[in-house]
Each structure stands twice: as C-alpha cells, then as structure tokens.
Structure 1
Amino acid sequence: MKFGLSLILILVAGPSLSQTVPGLAHLLDTSEDARPLSVSIWYPSEAKASTSVGGNPVFEGVAAAPNAEFTHSALPLVIVSHGGLRSATDSGAWLSSSIARAGFVVAEVDAPHPDNAAAALNEIWQRPRDIRRVIDLVLADTTWGPRVNETMVSVAGFALGATAALSVGGAELDVASYLRSCAPDRKQHGPDCGWFAAQRVNMSATNPDGLAGMARDPRVTSVIAINPEYPEDLGSVPADIRKLSISLGKPESTSADGQQTPPFVVPQASIFDAFAVCTLAGPEILMEEEGDASICGVSSDARRAIHQDVSDAVISFLNGGAK
C-alpha cells in the first residue's frame, strides 16, 4: 500500500483560534546524510491553536500550538511511524495529536520517501532503523530527554510503519518468505508487487545486511500495529511486549503478524481511513491527480468517527487496557 500522494502543497484552511490543542515542536536528525529524519513532537498543553499541521488541498490539517509551554513531569513516549512507501509528511498527525492530548509525548517520524521501486526495496529494514534513531534522538536531546520516561516507550505504526513497529518489538521477519512475497505461486502477494514489477525490480535485490540488522529494540515496551504489511512473514512479538493489533476493515487472516489474540477490528473502515479527513475539494482533486476518490472514504463524518474509535482503542491500551 503506497500511503501518500504526489501533492506537496501548503494547507490553506486555518485552525480554530479558540481551541485548546497539543503543543508541537520539531527535531531533526542529520547524522546520516542520505537519510535525514524530521520528527514532529506532540505533547499535552493548555495553549490555543495557532497553526495547522499535515494538511493540503486534499486533506484537512490538525490544529496545534507550536512551542507551547511544557508543564508536566516526565511522560511516556510514543513513536508514530507512517505507513506505506510514499506517505505525506505528518500523515499520522490525527493520531499523534489525540495521543498527546491523553498525556503522552509523541514523536512522529518522517524520512525521505523513495522515488523509485529500487530504493523502496530497502524500506522494510530502514523503517525499523528510523524508529531506533528517533528513540536515540529524543532521549539524547537536552530538552526532550528529561521530559520523557525512558522506561515507557511505545511504537505505533500504520501499514509498513506497523511492520516496523512489530520488528522493533521483537517480531522476527522470515527473510526467505519475505523475499518471495511477489512470487507467482504466493497466495497473498506483497502490497507493492505491481510497482516493483512495472519497474523490473526483484525483491532479491533487497540489501541483505539491512535485513540481517533487523532486531528488537530493548527500550520498546509496547507496540501498536495498524494493518501491518507482510503479516504472513512476521513472527510473534515476545511475551513481555504488550501489543495491540488494529484492523481497519475485516482482517484477511486471523493469524496476521503472528498474533495470539484477535485484533481490534473497525469493520466499517478501510485501509484508506488511516489517511486524514478529506477537504470538501479532496475527492475531486483525487480524481484529477490519482483517479481514486475512494481514498476519501464514505464521508468526512464517517472518517472522523473511525479516527475516534482508533484513537480511543490506542489510548486505552497505552493507559494499561487489555493486551
């Protein structure tokens, strides 16, 4: 699933200035020239909205208060990893904002997006590595390190980001099976096999050292996986890791990502509901640019309701709800 659009436009709708919203800050990791990471930090605040994040003519933005005062003691940290191979920047802002309002520091990671299938092959191991880099970055930062409880680190991800979340939580990737995910005899093909085939890219070209380096991050204590990609190639997370699986729509398999318990299912949803709420003009723009207005879902109200269901389930889990 290629989460994202070619649109890189600026949000035109303004936030409600009377709304109390989460604070927002940014960190940048330039330790790797070829893969700088931009991180949006969301946190609880009593400030009023002064900007909007993650919006464009297709998708509504999320209200925020940049550099609002931080008035809390150390809070649990949640890393949010975007989905798909070409996600828009801050595409998970709707979830990050909701989690922050519930009393968490949330770090949403945005990495350079691959512009061709050959580069995209290595995202399977780059995404977990990005998560580990962001944890390093936040904990080492002189401002944000003291503001988070390093013993309570969770990772939430959508699609390929969910696969990455499970990986850093200790779910092992069956590399041989993964490399065959586009094979003709495979019952369930990987989400990007058509793209790879069109550009004559073979899964076997995935960097073997990168795949070998995928491993559990011992700092991660719980994971939230929303419609993970390549679930049939993933093992189970260890018993000491708390895990919540969420399925937008009915899951294709009751044993996705090696889970021992059924996922939280939002039956009326689809994978497209991981996107933000669409603007009024969104469906028409999508028809012109992408040819698929269904990305906007049934209606804005229906998507807001789905986002609320997902946010409630995630927050309940983070606060110690059912495993």
Structure 2
Amino acid sequence: MKFGLSLVLMLAVTPSIAEPAAGVAYLHDTSVEERPLSMSIWYPSEEKASATIGGNPVFKGVSATRDAQFPKGALPLVVVSHGGLRSATDSGAWLSSSIAQAGYVVVELNGPRPDNAAIALNEIWQRPQDIHRAIDLVQADATWGPRIDESKVSVVGFALGATAALSVAGAKMDVDEYMRSCATGSESEGPDCGWYAAQGVTLSETSQEGVAGLARDPRVTSVIAINPEYPAVLGSIAEEVGALRIYLGTPEAAGGGDQADRSVVIPDASIFDAFAVCTPAGPDILAAEDGDSSICGVSAETRESIHLETARAVISFLRDHSE
C-alpha cells in the first residue's frame, strides 16, 4: 500500500517537480448529453512529476505524473466530489493526489459548472447521481475496471459534495424541510441562499422528483463528509457503511451537530481551506474581481498545514476501512 514512499511524501501537498508524484489520467463521458462528466483519475506512482494539475492564476496546482505506470494489483477506489457550486476543475487535486499516493485509485469528479442559480438548483440531487455514474463508468472501463477492487469503494465529499456522499451512503433527505432551507431563520439554511435570492430563485423550484429519488449506492462501503451542507435535513446513513465527518472549523460553525459518526475537528480551519493553496497574486486577483480575498485564508503555510492534517485524517480512516 505504501509503495516505498515515506509518510511525508505521501501527504505532500505540492511536491517538487523532481520528486515522485501521483499518476494522473482522464476519463470523459458524454453519454448524458445535458451533463457531460469529466473524471481525473489519480493513482500511486514513484515516477518523477511531469505536470501541474488544477492550477490557475488564483490557486496553485498540484504536481503529478501524466500516464505513469500503474502498480500491480487491484486497488481500493475512492471517489472525490468537491462541493463548490462554482469551483474550478480539479479543485480537490491537493487531496486526491495525497490519497492516491497512499495506495488508492482516486476519481475526482468534474461535472459541468452551473452558469447561474437556476441551473444550480438541481445540483443537490445531480451530485449524488454523478457519484453513482462515475462508479459505473470506472468499473466498466476496459483499462480501469481491472485495476479496481470492487469490494472497497469509498466517497470523499466537500460541502455539497459531502451531502452527496452521505446520500449515496443511505442518508434520506427530508424533502419538505430542504425546500424551506432558505427561509429566514431556518436551521438548515445553506451557504448559497443569498446567491439564489439575488437571482430571484427559490429552492421550491428544485425538482422534487430528483430530490426524492436520492438513493443509497450499495457498492459504497465508507464515506468521508467534510463540512456537509444542509445537515439538518439529512437522516442517518446505512449502518453497514463506515463514516467519518471532518469539520473545518467547529462542528457548530460548519453547520454540524451531534453525530454518531467518527469525527475530526480542525478548529483553526474554515470551509475555504477545502480549496487549494493560493498563489501570491491570488488575494489581489480575487479583490480586483469583487471576489472574497479571505478565500485564500491566513497564509499559504497555514493552508498547507490544514491540508496535511486533513489528508492524514482521511487516509487513516480509509486504511481502517480497506484492510
């Protein structure tokens, strides 16, 4: 599982271009015309980095080795669903690459980015569908199917992606309560309510059939939910599914509460720390575009430390559930 790499290398957020880095490849599916799905596939590698993935003027990318040789044997599968409605492609690359170097095949989902609030409404049930679909596609693929241990399938989600992860683990959603989530004073109010309101969109316009159709995926054996959105409208997950909740910030600040699941709290973090480390110019670019420069956090060093702690917690949990 460790492939000769030290823990430091396995959990490095941005390894040097001269150091070993996770392998990366891509799988695209256009069978659903209105929702094409792009998947970044990460896996263990001891080859030197040859590319940078997920970088842009605001966020630093992650070193990777394109089409590196795959290690022998089938490995557990981990699906990563980043939660930001308007997140860039490969926003979770910092975590996906670290998990891969610990001995897993990691599929990071990059679905279509909603152009407006009306389109984004149905992400609440489309994200779980993306997870089901990704597992189908990878297991059926001639190249990747034989490389996956189908008995060990986990999902890691951030924010709305965490809500999706809990859904595929069997957590039922109270549809009526969800539809009221943006009402003033609602316990289940979500972080995008202001964005919806500014565009004259209400959650009552969400496809009730889509939300009601959310269902557990029996192939998923464990889930990791990082600051799930709308936690007050979700029921318990299936008893046979292992679960870890990670709170970037206190559980109360993250919208959590008393949960029976195993949990890890990183009190000095925030949900913004689910994003990559910012470039030196990142805060100024965000400010110039009327964005929120606090997305970049306190400092690059602080965010790297939070990423390291998060990756350690995720990998430790995965190992406990993939032995």
TM over 0.5: yes
> CA separation of 1:184/1:255 partners in 2, compared to 1, >3 Å: closer, same or farther?
closer
Partner of 2:250: 250
Deviation sequence 1:65-103 (CA, Å, 0-9, x none): 010001220000000001121111000000000000000
Q: What letter corresponds to residue 50 of structure 1 in structure 2?
A: S
- 1:257 is displaced (CA, Å) by 7.3
The 3 A distance-change label for structure 1 pair 257 and 93 is: farther
Give 1:19 deviation, angstroms: 1.1
Summarize deviations over 1:87-137 as a string: whole Å, max 9, x none.
110000000000000000000000001111111110000000000000001
In structure 1, C-alpha distance between the alignment counterparts of 2:136 and 2:148, rounded to whole Å: 12
What is the DSSP-based 3-state SS (H/G/I as helix, E as strand, rest coil) of the residue aligned with 1:25? strand
- What residue number does 2:23 align with? 23
Match of 1:149, SS state, is strand
1:221–1:241: 8 Å Cα contact kept in structure 2?
yes
Provide the residue aligned with 1:6 in structure 2. Answer: none
1:97-246 matches, cutoff 5 A: 97-246=97-246
Higher mean C-alpha displacement, 29-38 vs 198-207: 198-207
Q: How far apart are 1:203 and its partner, in Å? A: 1.1
Q: Distance in 1 between matches of 2:74 and 2:253?
A: 39
State the TM-score, normalizing by the size of structure 2: 0.92
d(CA) in 2 for partners of 1:189, 1:254: 12
Query: Which residue of the partner structure matches residue 89 of structure 1?
Result: 89
CA RMSD of aligned residues (A): 1.8
Percent identical: 64
The equivalent of 2:276 in structure 1 is 276
Contact 1:235/1:258 (8 A) holds in 2: no
- Give 5+ residue unaligned stretches, structure 2: 1-13
1:315 aligns with 2:315: yes
**Counterpart amino acid of residue 198 in structure 1:** A
Aligned equivalents of 2:107 and 2:257: distance in 1? 24
In the alignment, is the contact (CA less than 8 A) between 1:117 and 1:199 conserved in 2?
yes
SS at match of 1:94: helix
Q: Which amino acid aligns with 1:130?
A: D
Residue identity opposite 1:194 in structure 2: G
Kindly indicate whether the alpha-carbon contact (under 8 Å) linking 2:138 and 2:144 is maintained by their aligned counterparts in 1. Answer: yes
Please say which of residues 274-283 and 122-131 is displaced more in the overlay.
Answer: 274-283
Moved more, 202-211 or 306-315: 202-211
Structure 1, unmatched stretches of 5+, are: 1-13
Rate the CA distance shift 1:262–1:255 in 2: closer, same or farther, 3 A. farther
**1:263 is paired with a residue of what secondary structure?**
strand
Q: Is the 8 A contact 2:76 2:152 kept in 1?
A: yes
Relative distance call for 1:253 and 1:49 in structure 2 (3 A) is: closer
User: Residues of 1 paired with 2:167 and 2:187: CA distance?
Assistant: 23
Bigger drift between 227-236 and 14-23 goes to 14-23
TM-score, structure 1 length as denominator?
Answer: 0.92
Q: Distance in 2 between matches of 1:158 and 1:307?
A: 13
Measure how far apart 1:191 and its partner are: 1.2
Q: Distance in 2 between matches of 1:188 and 1:90?
A: 28
Q: Give, in angstroms, the shift of residue 254 of structure 1.
A: 9.6
**Residues 1:254 and 1:75: Cα distance change in structure 2 (over 3 Å):** same
Amino acid across the alignment from 1:68: A
Q: Secondary structure of the residue that 1:319 maps to in structure 2? A: helix
Q: Deviations over 1:261-288 (max 9, x none)?
A: 4620001101110010011111111111
Q: For residues 182 and 20 of structure 1, what CA distance do their matches in structure 2 show?
A: 46
Contact 2:273–2:306 at 8 Å: present in 1 too?
yes
Q: Give the Cα–Cα distance (whole angstroms) in 2 for the partners of residues 290 and 93 of structure 1.
A: 25
2:188 and 2:230 in contact (8 A); partners too = no
CA distance in 2 between counterparts of 1:19 and 1:83 reads: 30
Aligned-residue offset at 1:187: 3.9
Give the distance between the partners of 1:160 and 1:299, measured in 2 at CA.
25
1:255 to partner: Cα distance: 8.8
Q: 1:77 to 1:29 in 2, by over 3 A?
A: same
C-alpha distance in 2, partners of 1:63/1:202? 40
Question: Which residue does 2:57 correspond to in 1?
Answer: 57
